[in-house]
Chain A
């Protein structure tokens, strides 16, 4: 099949960018979306042109590296999938596909479709951990944890830090990302001692990074490749209130 592409090209940070047209022919329905871009890039390289820069690594939906906006939707049309998990069978012969970077003030574009999401690392550094040193841990089974609680923690802990939630939000809020970590650690007894301190520090860092506020649109949950629930945000707000009052 053949698809037409409109791809955001931008030479570097702070430089002007624009959508550029390409044609991808010899597209096989079993190709992944990124393999289709690989093939387009091969063609560009052979002509000596600058290939389209995009991040990707594991190509199986877990590392969180990849992430572009496909026809207006972060990670594209599949529910619960990252960009690398989208396959070309999802599109029709002759379709025009628009590909843009994740856009947010806190995610500056480095080149083309590559953005800098290190703000997420700084949010984690502000408090997304249990403060314990290697060597002091008690036996792993000394503290039973109800299965339902462990499962709930795992649901939140699955976040891959891709930033689609930010890209989908009209306010570019990082609430889903931040709250997922707060819930993961907050529901477990190991995280309880730092529960108040953690939420305050992480929320403050989120604000410092230039992310917006949450206005309950739910777009984040809709595009999350790991289907992280928006109820994490409610929990974060509750914890924040509890901590500062």
Chain B
């Protein structure tokens, strides 16, 4: 089946205006007749709930956390892009659009990306009006920094805690609606199923994580804002409770999963220190503005970095990519780091790290300036590694950070299940095969504040939705399914912990579906995943019961879903026999080791339809048509 993206016709600059005009509206008095469910309270979820609440829709919000403010958007460090051109350095909506399409290695939908660039300017206005304390210059105007993959300074930031401040802005707006009575919060709830009635998303089944009770909630539209699936790799920069469960359960009810193999490995993370490691910590990409990345020129050079003279250092990013230098996009920087470590030139005891050196920047700008720019990041690094990065270069290594793939959505952010909308990292739409720095926050807020309010209204205003009650059979069936799964995992009473299984699936994914992927490796990974999944259901141990707070049980459900999801992740990587962005197939590279795209064969979105656990999913394609930007070999040289 060829998927219809429902992109409006006309010139790219007019498409969104055209769609907004074509859209059905719901009059203010009628809005209170519709029930909207928002799952997830990160940037996308909180901003969508706030916006819909302000418009007068009754909104029920669900989140796994104790408080909506704990969603993982809170941890984003670096910044948020917007085409404000406040620096007079040649930025424009069109340039942000162009950079994002190119940065995504020509695997994103043009119209979505253009809209993202258009509304980026409104996001900054919105956030400043909310009181988000962005960094400012002495003149009182907003400051900007540059980020990887761009030659202009368009990134707005709040120290190294931009995600925190943007999320608190959205959270506070949402809490204002809680106070106003339009939004009701349902925290410590995990969505366990999407309820589909007559082909439309009509509610969810969720579990109260404190009492264990399964609850049914009916709705006229469901918005999934549940983030990415990076924790399938076990170690990642994601929060330890991030998971694919809500998206995966929706997938099993008919929402296609798009481009799961597009995963982002972030180049600047603190290296793994031992087997006990539960997560990896990102060092913001903004550090590459002032830090220089290098390794020793010769293999096995184990001298302390201070004793390695300049002549014996290889500043490999500056050497290979003179135009962008240390600011190449993430996928390029990560692969380059892996390459030098594979050559045996890596730093540290494990040889699995590279230096990020601030000595020159400190000499040039003074330690105080560097401290003002990155103080909290340096503190964080020192706390974790017990080393002082003002004196010794940081050691960094790539780690899983973000997932560009997600549930397939059309231009209206609607999935293949009518009435199910997917926002933020949980959808696939805007970043192609690689996301540029400071674009995730932009997308989450664009979807929530400025896109979904229009497209959800169009759906509600233009669809005949007969009333559905939580007593409907479909809710009962979904509840029974969820209960069956919980009972099953508790009854196994095996010998291996959930964490052991999570580590095992993570190792398979990192080794074979990580930074370098091969035909044989991926095929092998799929059979290993199947075996591991069988072992999980025979040998997992989950103590306790389902009638109270039992974090181990919640964790088991999430890892069980990864046992299924990992297979389509590997399959997608296997079937895409080209390299693009974060997806690097060793068989498809240029003579100098850059990703080699095959536009003739793979210029499409892969959208997988679920056909049963263990059964091969069916591939549907959405052809990518480039009317504005002509795909070329990406060059940052």
Residues on the A chain within 8 Å of B129, using CB: 130, 132, 136-138, 140, 190
Report the nearest B residue to A55, measured CB to CB: B66
List residues of A (121-154) whose CB comes within 8 Å of B's CBs.
Answer: 121, 124-134, 136-141, 143-147, 150-151, 153-154
Residues on the B chain within 8 Å of A209, using CB: none
Residues on the B chain within 8 Å of A139, using CB: 125
A3-47 CB mask vs B (1 if < 8 Å, else 0) is: 000000001100000000000000010111011101101101110
Docked Cα-Cα span, A111 to B548, in Å, equals 9
Report the nearest A residue to B179, measured CB to CB: A125
> Separation in Å of the A84 CB from the closest CB of chain B?
9
Docked Cα-Cα span, A32 to B281, in Å, equals 12
- A32, A130, A136: the one contacting B278 at CB < 8 Å is A32
- B69, B130, B139: the one contacting A132 at CB < 8 Å is B130
Residues on the B chain within 8 Å of A44, using CB: 543
Known: A62-B74, A81-B383, A125-B176. A48 touches B543 (CB 8 A): yes
A35–B240 CB distance below 8 A: no
A84-116 CB mask vs B (1 if < 8 Å, else 0) is: 010101000000000000000000001100101
- B47, B75, B84, B138: the one contacting A58 at CB < 8 Å is B75
Docked Cα-Cα span, A191 to B384, in Å, equals 37
Docked Cα-Cα span, A145 to B132, in Å, equals 12
Docked Cα-Cα span, A130 to B129, in Å, equals 8
A161–B67 CB distance below 8 A: yes
Docked Cα-Cα span, A7 to B325, in Å, equals 51
Residues on the A chain within 8 Å of B139, using CB: 144
Docked Cα-Cα span, A48 to B139, in Å, equals 62
Known: A64-B69, A147-B136, A154-B158. A138 touches B125 (CB 8 A): yes
Docked Cα-Cα span, A224 to B237, in Å, equals 24
Residues on the A chain within 8 Å of B126, using CB: 134, 137
- A57, A137, A160: the one contacting B65 at CB < 8 Å is A57
**Any chain B CB within 8 A of the CB of A188?**
yes
Q: A-B pairs with CB below 8 Å: how many?
A: 219
Residues on the A chain within 8 Å of B239, using CB: 57-59, 63
B274–A129 CB distance below 8 A: no
**Any chain A CB within 8 A of the CB of B461?**
no
> Separation in Å of the B455 CB from the closest CB of chain A?
14
Docked Cα-Cα span, A137 to B74, in Å, equals 23
Report the nearest A residue to B69, measured CB to CB: A161
Residues on the A chain within 8 Å of B368, using CB: none
**Any chain A CB within 8 A of the CB of B421?**
no
- B128, B138, B141, B172: the one contacting A128 at CB < 8 Å is B172
B160-185 CB mask vs A (1 if < 8 Å, else 0) is: 01001100100111011011000001
Docked Cα-Cα span, A141 to B67, in Å, equals 32
A46–B380 CB distance below 8 A: no
Residues on the A chain within 8 Å of B380, using CB: 60-61, 85
Residues on the B chain within 8 Å of A190, using CB: 128-131
B46-74 CB mask vs A (1 if < 8 Å, else 0) is: 01001100100000000001111111101
A188–B66 CB distance below 8 A: no
Docked Cα-Cα span, A120 to B239, in Å, equals 22
**Any chain A CB within 8 A of the CB of B467?**
no
Report the nearest B residue to A186, measured CB to CB: B131
- A53, A58, A161, A188: the one contacting B133 at CB < 8 Å is A188
Interface size on A, residues (CB 8 A): 81
Residues on the B chain within 8 Å of A191, using CB: 131
Known: A28-B274, A118-B187, A131-B176. A89 touches B386 (CB 8 A): yes
- A28, A125, A140, A154: the one contacting B84 at CB < 8 Å is A140
**Any chain B CB within 8 A of the CB of A171?**
no
> Separation in Å of the B373 CB from the closest CB of chain A?
13
- B273, B282, B550: the one contacting A30 at CB < 8 Å is B273
B67–A117 CB distance below 8 A: yes
Interface size on B, residues (CB 8 A): 85
A63–B72 CB distance below 8 A: yes
A130–B548 CB distance below 8 A: no
**Any chain B CB within 8 A of the CB of A65?**
yes
A150–B135 CB distance below 8 A: yes
Docked Cα-Cα span, A30 to B551, in Å, equals 25
A118–B67 CB distance below 8 A: yes
> Separation in Å of the A200 CB from the closest CB of chain B?
14
**Any chain B CB within 8 A of the CB of A51?**
yes
Report the nearest B residue to A128, measured CB to CB: B172
B276–A28 CB distance below 8 A: yes
Report the nearest A residue to B384, measured CB to CB: A87
- A11, A157, A188: the one contacting B165 at CB < 8 Å is A157
Residues on the A chain within 8 Å of B176, using CB: 125, 129, 131
B202-244 CB mask vs A (1 if < 8 Å, else 0) is: 0000000010000000000000000000000000000111000
A31–B175 CB distance below 8 A: no
Docked Cα-Cα span, A11 to B545, in Å, equals 12
- B379, B541, B551: the one contacting A46 at CB < 8 Å is B541
Known: A137-B129, A145-B136. A128 touches B210 (CB 8 A): no
> Separation in Å of the A145 CB from the closest CB of chain B?
5
Report the nearest B residue to A153, measured CB to CB: B133
Residues on the B chain within 8 Å of A146, using CB: 136, 140
Docked Cα-Cα span, A56 to B176, in Å, equals 26
**Any chain A CB within 8 A of the CB of B617?**
no
Residues on the B chain within 8 Å of A28, using CB: 274, 276
B133–A184 CB distance below 8 A: yes
**Any chain B CB within 8 A of the CB of A158?**
yes
A45–B497 CB distance below 8 A: yes
A140–B125 CB distance below 8 A: yes
The residue among A36, A57, A85, A124 with the most chain B CB atoms within 10 A of its own CB is: A57
List residues of A (180-216) whose CB comes within 8 Å of B's CBs.
Answer: 184-185, 188, 190-191
**Any chain A CB within 8 A of the CB of B3?**
no
Report the nearest A residue to B241, measured CB to CB: A57
Report the nearest A residue to B64, measured CB to CB: A57
Q: A50-B543, A58-B240, A64-B67 are in contact. List 15 more A-B contacts (CB 8 A).
A: A48-B493, A59-B240, A63-B75, A64-B74, A121-B185, A125-B179, A126-B179, A129-B130, A134-B173, A140-B134, A141-B84, A143-B128, A150-B136, A188-B131, A190-B128
What 10 pairs between A and B have smallest CB-CB spacing? A144-B140, A129-B172, A137-B129, A137-B125, A154-B133, A140-B128, A153-B133, A57-B239, A125-B175, A111-B549
Q: Give 16 pairs: A residue, B residue, CB < 8 Å, sorted on A.
A: A38-B499, A45-B541, A57-B65, A59-B279, A59-B281, A60-B281, A63-B74, A117-B66, A124-B171, A125-B178, A134-B50, A140-B84, A140-B128, A154-B133, A158-B159, A184-B131
- Chain B residues with a Cβ under 8 A of chain A: 47, 50-51, 54, 65-72, 74-75, 84, 86, 122, 124-131, 133-142, 158-159, 161, 164-165, 168, 171-173, 175-176, 178-179, 185, 187, 210, 239-241, 273-274, 276-279, 281-282, 379-380, 383-384, 386, 449-450, 453, 493, 495, 497-500, 541-544, 548-552
